[in-house]
Amino acid sequence: MRISGITIPDNKRLEIGLTEVHGVGRARAKDILDSAKVDAGKKPKDLSTSEENTLRQKVEEFRIEGELRREVAGNVKRLKDIKAYRGDRHARNLPVRGQRTKTNSRSVRGNVRKTATSGRRKVDKK
């Protein structure tokens, strides 16, 4: 089963499989399945063509995949263009939402650990 260019895995439950589509999380997948009256525990290979089509229509009502990615990229670009603090954090690839960076965000900053040393060399005593 394909929805807007994304293949939904046949061996996963629909509730989980729909989250492969960018812009569809667990909550939205559950809402889509409820509105389409399809069982969340069903697997994509067990769907009838009419159920597939209704699911596809329900999912494509939302802003998903390329359109959503373009919108998010545009929002970040706007923040960078107006030289907002958040835009600057995006540009530097640092945490944007006020998280501390002294001890966290190691993977983003590169695992740089600076340890306090005395600055003296150890002298061997004989």
Task: Give the position of tokens 């958040």.
Answer: 86
Q: Range with the lowest mean pLDDT among 14-23, 65-74, 78-87, 112-121? A: 112-121
Q: Range with the lowest mean pLDDT among 27-41, 51-65, 110-124? A: 110-124
Q: Tens digits of per-residue pLDDT, 62-98? A: 999 999 999 999 999 999 999 999 999 999 999 999 9
Cβ 93 vs Cβ 80: under 8 Å: no
Query: Could you give the domains of the chain?
Result: 2-62 (1.10.8.50), 67-107 (4.10.910.10)
Residue 13 confidence (pLDDT) above 90:
yes
Q: Is 27 exposed, middle or buried (0-12, 13-18, 19+ CB in 10 A)?
A: exposed
Task: Give percent above pLDDT 70 in the chain.
Answer: 94
